Amino acid sequence: MLERQRDAYLAHVAVERGLSPNTVAAYRRDLDRYASFLAARGLADLKDVTREDVAAFAQGVSTGDDGGRALAPASASRTVVAVRGWHRFAVLEGWTLGDPSAQVKPRAIPKRLPKAISTDEVDRILAQAGAGDGPSPLRDRALLELVYATGARISEAVGLDVDDVVLDAGEETVLLRGKGRKERIVPVGGYAVDALDAYLVRARAPLAQAGRGTPALFLNTRGGRLSRQSAWAILRAAAERAGVEDVSPHTLRHSFATHLLNGGADVRVVQELLGHASVTTTQIYTLVTRDTLREVYAATHPRAR
């Protein structure tokens, strides 16, 4: 029974809620672990589960007492979220009369400020991405210019097709597909437009010759769509050559948001550009901005001390 109930819920989050395949796969692992925990307690149906069972599992995934590997706070929290979603779905489907997980909260995750680099460091990375001859440097520069210009996730950038980009004068935009396949149209700045134009005119066709034809915007050397892992490797290599340390796949996205807010952009505008469902997610960047304001104030106001 648990297996059928689990599969029905996973189908729901994949089809009705449009969660990505990676997220659905993570939910499946979480719920498989939960189902094993319930089975070990002699529970074969969600209707038999109590609040104490859910609470014991939520505690167990953090410590390993449920029989599995102890999870980091973020992973443990995601596991509890998956369990709570499954129980809510069970109530809606009429499998259970109540939700035993309603009062079991995910473990609080310590807030980590996003890593942002300076505009000078961004310039150095972009310059290094385009260094060299052949089509690959043109592609690499266009890719990273676009990510920084639009705040796109790496996965969103490599998922672009040629038709998703408009480079006509006065209409320079890109259609990005975020989490849950939610679409947003984001303007593209002049530097990124120039880099994309150079790539499309001089580099994409040579790369495409090695493949079988694909609408993908960014191509690998075999003519297929550039993977997320390859895009991350491009960023990491350019950062190393530029002498910029501690760069992650989200570095340019975080820097995009922080630089906009430091320049005076409204947080709700940045929310729309990033594709965040809630402004609360975007507001973590305002912490970075407030730190900057305090530093400037302390360094420049004659009576700051």
For residues 245 and 124, membership in a common domain is answered with yes
Residue 175, H or E segment: strand 173-177
Site of tokens 């066709």: 205
Q: How many structural domains is the chain composed of?
A: 2
Q: Are residues 83 and 12 in the same domain?
A: yes
Burial-class residue 41 by CB neighbours within 10 Å (0-12, 13-18, 19+). middle
Residue 135 and residue 85 share a domain? no
- Do 156 and 68 lie in one domain? The reply is no
67 & 160 share domain: no
- pLDDT (tens digit per residue) in 117-163: 999 999 999 999 999 999 999 999 999 999 999 999 999 999 999 99
Among residues 83, 114, 195, the alpha carbon closest in space to that of 150 is found at 195
Which structural domain range is residue 62 located in? 2-92
* Residues 215, 142 share a domain: yes
Regarding whether 243 and 123 lie in a shared domain, the answer is yes
pLDDT at 304: 62
The CATH number of residue 67's host domain is 1.10.150
What Cα–Cα distance (Å) separates residue 195 from each residue in 54, 143, 186? 52, 8, 17
pLDDT-based confidence at residue 200 (cuts at 50, 70, 90): very high
Q: Is 186 strand, coil or helix?
A: strand
Residues with catalytic annotation?
Answer: 153, 179, 250, 253, 276, 285
Whether 302 is in a domain gets the answer no
Give a yes or no: residue 19 inside a domain: yes
For residue range 60-75, what is the model confidence (pLDDT) as tens digits?
988 888 888 888 888 8
Say which residue the tokens 């390993």 belong to.
64
pLDDT at residue 265 greater than cutoff 70: yes
Query: Does residue 185 lie in a domain region?
Result: yes
Report how far residue 289's alpha carbon sits from residue 152's, in angstroms, rounded to the nearest whole number: 20
pLDDT band at 303 (very low <50, low <70, confident <90, very high): low
- Token pair for residue 19? 């969660």
Q: Do 150 and 229 belong together in one domain?
A: yes
Q: With respect to residue 213, please indicate whether it lies within any of the assigned structural domains.
A: yes
**Whole-model pTM?**
0.63
The β-bridge partners of 165 are 174
Q: Both 63 and 140 in a single domain?
A: no
DSSP state of 4: H
For residue range 269-300, what is the model confidence (pLDDT) as tens digits?
A: 888 888 887 777 777 777 666 666 666 667 77
- Which residues in 211-302 belong to E strands, given as ranges? none
Q: Are residues 48 and 137 in the same domain?
A: no
Say what the pLDDT of residue 246 is: 85
Boundary (domain end) residue, out of 47, 73, 92? 92
